[in-house]
Structure 1
């Protein structure tokens, strides 16, 4: 049975450093998910594609980044909506977690733009969702907050997760469906 859980945040960070990638684990996962949502192929050399840098080494087979790709691609088409954002766990500070969420959004926008092109066919709802992601991507991390801020961050994470799935359906899955009809 295929692995269904993302590698640990720390595993992705470590392998990213080993490959000399200058992006956080959250931003890298966002870029991968944006790439997949925009119709990009799930291939082992995905970091070079989503970072638009042909000199980036291909991750080792079965390494953290390869598992990240395989699990993310499977989660994005999971009929049970099991898609998960790769973010620091809840023991991390609010600043670290909110910063990682905004990094994830920045990565998603970049990967989506690379794969979908400059004028993808989007529903009005998806266009609005991309605008919301762009606002999040431009936001500074939240300083430590109270329980209300924790709840708001959890709601933002869920909103971003649903937006990513919606954009994937609007672009990647719709394109696959059109190909099957032709």
Structure 2
């Protein structure tokens, strides 16, 4: 299963559990957690949102499907990894805000899973620093012009590749090293 649930389905599932997290925040946090080597657990919500009292998503629920598809996409050798942001029909500002929320949540999940600073490649260090800069950004800097649409698409692609790079450094690299030993 590599197809992510629809943004609105994730939103409804989040709201039904009383979570204050947007779909972008849930996915960003999950991706950060997994990229830093956090365990793929059915009880991921409690881990990623640092709240052990949160319920475990039901098997085959939207939030469980989100976890399973995200794990599969991060592991996909064809780089099929996608970001869950805002609906593509949403205004530019809403989509930009969702991207920055995703980055903030990614950093939170990454920090929770990695604990201390993980050993990263030079590219991984740079990617992490760039994600931190994006996490501090604001959509107020964007207009609704075509140039900004293009810029947002470029930033989304950068974030997608940065997440894969960090996952490669922290998870795939350590697996590869274990096989060599």
Query: Normalising TM by the smaller chain, what interval?
Result: over 0.9
Partners of 1:49 and 1:140 lie apart in 2 by 27
Q: Deviations over 1:93-149 (max 9, x none)?
A: 011000000000011001111111221000111111111101111111245420010
**Aligned residue number for residue 75 of structure 1:** 73
Quote how far apart the aligned CAs of 1:79 are: 1.0
- More deviation, 112-121/165-174: 112-121
Structure 2: runs of 5+ lacking an equivalent: none
Number of the residue aligned with 2:119? 121
| Root mean square deviation of aligned Cα | 1.1
1:1-182 superposed matches below 5 A: 3-142=1-140, 143-182=142-181
The 1-side partners of 2:29 and 2:72 are apart by 16
CA distance in 2, matches of 1:111, 1:168: 12
Q: Report the TM-score when normalising by structure 1.
A: 0.95
Q: How many residues align?
A: 180
**Higher alpha-carbon deviation: 50-59 or 156-165:** 50-59
2-side partners of 1:179 and 1:56: how far apart?
A: 34
